[in-house]
Amino acid sequence: MTLVKGKGKEKDGKLVKTRKQRISSRRNCKEDRISNLPKGVLLHILNLMEVKTIFQTSVLSKQWKDLWKSVTYLSLNSSHFRTVADFNKFVSHFLSNRDDSISLLKLFVHLHRCSELKLLNRMMKYAVLHKVERLAIEISCLSLAANNKFPPSIFSSPSISFLWLFVAIYGPIMKLPPSLQLPALTTLSLHKVCFTAGDNDCAEPFSSCKLLKTLFLNECSLHDDAKRLWISNSSLAKLTLHHSFTETYKLVLSTPNLSFLSVTGNIRSCYGEVSSTCNLSFLEEGNIGARYSIMSNWLQLFANVKKLTLFGIGMENILSVLAYPLPEEIQHPYFVRLRSLELMMDSERKLSDEKVDSIVQYFLRNSPLSRVNVIKD
Question: Domain for residue 294, yes or no?
Answer: no
Output 142 or 304, whichever has higher pLDDT. 304
Query: Is residue 319's pLDDT more than 50?
Result: yes
Q: Which of 207-216, 284-293, 368-377 has the highest mean pLDDT?
A: 207-216
Per-residue confidence (pLDDT) for residue 5, from 0 to 100: 47
Residue 3: pLDDT above 80? no
Question: Mean of the pLDDT values across residues 314-330?
Answer: 72
Whole-structure pTM value: 0.84
Please give the pLDDT value at position 111: 87
Residue-wise burial string across 18-35, b where 16 or more C-beta atoms lie within 10 A, e elsewhere: eeeeeeeeeeeeeeeeee
At 97, is the secondary structure helix, strand, or coil?
Answer: helix
Q: Is the pLDDT of residue 281 over 70?
A: yes
In a domain, 256, yes or no: no
Cα–Cα distance measured from residue 265 to residue 288, given in angstroms and rounded to the nearest whole number: 9
Domain residues for 56?
37-175
Question: Is the confidence at residue 1, as pLDDT, over 50?
Answer: no
In a domain, 139, yes or no: yes
* Most confidently modeled range among 71-80, 230-239, 257-266: 230-239
Of residues 33 and 66, more confidence is placed in: 66
Alpha helices, DSSP H, located in 82-204: 84-97, 117-129, 142-146
- Indicate the average pLDDT of the chain: 81
Out of 163-167, 310-314, 329-333, pick the least confident. 329-333
pLDDT tier at 283, thresholds 50, 70, 90: very high
142 located within any domain: yes
Q: For the chain, what is the domain count?
A: 1
Flag whether 75 is in a domain.
Answer: yes
Contact 264, 285 (CB under 8 A): no
Question: For position 272, what pLDDT does the model report?
Answer: 43
The answer to whether residue 349 scores a pLDDT higher than 90 is: no
| pLDDT tens by residue, 83-109 | 888 888 999 999 999 999 999 999 999
Cβ–Cβ under 8 Å, residues 231 and 257: no
Residue 117 maps to a domain: yes
The yes-or-no verdict on residue 24 having pLDDT over 70 is no
pLDDT at 50: 78
**Comparison of pLDDT for 198 and 137, the residue scoring more:** 137
Q: Please check whether residue 149 lies inside any domain of the structure.
A: yes
Most confident of the following: 118-132, 168-182, 261-275: 118-132
Rounded Cα–Cα distance for residues 214 and 257 (Å): 12
DSSP 153: G
For residue 142, pLDDT over 70 is answered with: no
**What's the pLDDT at 189?**
97
| Residue (of 98, 156, 99, 146) closest to 125 by Cα position | 156
> Could you read off the pLDDT of 38-78 as tens digits, one per residue?
777 878 887 877 788 887 776 666 777 778 888 899 999 88
Q: Sorting pLDDT into bands at 50, 70 and 90, what band is 295? A: low
Range with the largest mean pLDDT of 126-140, 163-177, 272-286: 126-140
The residue-averaged pLDDT of 254-275 equals: 78
pLDDT at 359 > cutoff 60: yes
Within a domain: residue 116?
yes
Confidence (pLDDT) at 153: 92
Q: Enumerate helices (H) and strands (E) in the chain, giving the number of each.
A: 9, 21
* 287: nearest Cα among 327, 250, 259: 259
